[in-house]
Amino acid sequence: MASKEPLIITGKEEMRRWSRAARAEGKSIALVPTMGYLHQGHLTLIRESLRYAEAIVVSIYVNPGQFSPTEDLSTYPSDFVGDIRKLRSISGAGVDVVFHPKDLYGYGRSNSSKIDENRSEGEVVSCVEKSGNGHETWVRVERLEKGLCGKSRPVFFRGVATIVAKLFNIVEPDVAVFGKKDYQQWRIIQRMVRDLDFGIKVVGTEIVRDDDGLAKSSRNVRLSPEERAKALSISKSLFSAKLAAEKGQVNCQELINSVAQSITKAGGKVDYAEIVDQENLDLVKEIKSPAVFCVAAWFGNVRLIDNMEINI
């Protein structure tokens, strides 16, 4: 079957009109939010979305609201032409629309979305213009955003929740598909949808890995061959911890120490290694119910995240 040529939409109102027209035809809509530089993990999300809806929208938008003062938005990898080529490769029904807005924080004024560069370390990003007419409304999932990645990236999840809420309001999907590699993000979006009564089903898909076990990520391209080889210590140690837990080792600190030591020995710098409840992300001392082992570690200047669900 010939691949589909997706329609590229850049405007909010045009996107909203398309969705409402599709729904008027009786079609359900699935949204797969991305920041572009698509890889096999993203394509897996899109193929999964085909199970839930007749019309598929993929958003490509690098969200400035989730970058902290120490993170350079300009270095985030981008290849829009390559992304479209990959989307065309999806056989069958394929992708109907690529929503590719230039700016989701601007409201018709030339400088309305300018990010405030005069801010201190850890200060929340500001998308409010000096005249006071810019963006100043944010969505926070207060408890779930505090742990794990939220400790070292205090801006990140309010930026994620806000932009996803905006995408939901613009695209108006029935289903949204996220990858479980960003486990905390997936749970935060689920909670936001529940708490704010969005009529949207949030689906989480399993982590897609390379043949050697490394979790697929847009950041992997920034690893040197040596760093990439060392980064395999993350997935290898997580698989070992899962196996140990299934064999009866349920003391979390011992499992954490083992994983952290393996990553450090390989040359990585552990940001965090924690075992938490799968639903509420509370820290777990002993595995007695479904838990997830979450890790973030640096190899060179690249921060990688991974996790392993433990169901015993």
Handedness of CA 70, 177, 216, 148 (dihedral sign): positive
DSSP for 132-180, please give it. S-S-------TTTTTSTHHHH-TTHHHHHHHHHHHHHHHH--SEEEEET
Question: Which of 39, 42, 100, 135 is labelled catalytic?
Answer: 42
Cα 30 to Cα 48: distance, rounded to the nearest angstrom: 10
Q: Verify whether residue 100 is a known catalytic residue.
A: no
Cα 127 to Cα 64: distance, rounded to the nearest angstrom: 9
Handedness of CA 156, 161, 166, 167 (dihedral sign): positive
Burial class of residue 171 (count of CB atoms within 10 Å of its CB; 0-12, 13-18, 19+): buried
Q: Which residues are catalytic?
A: 42
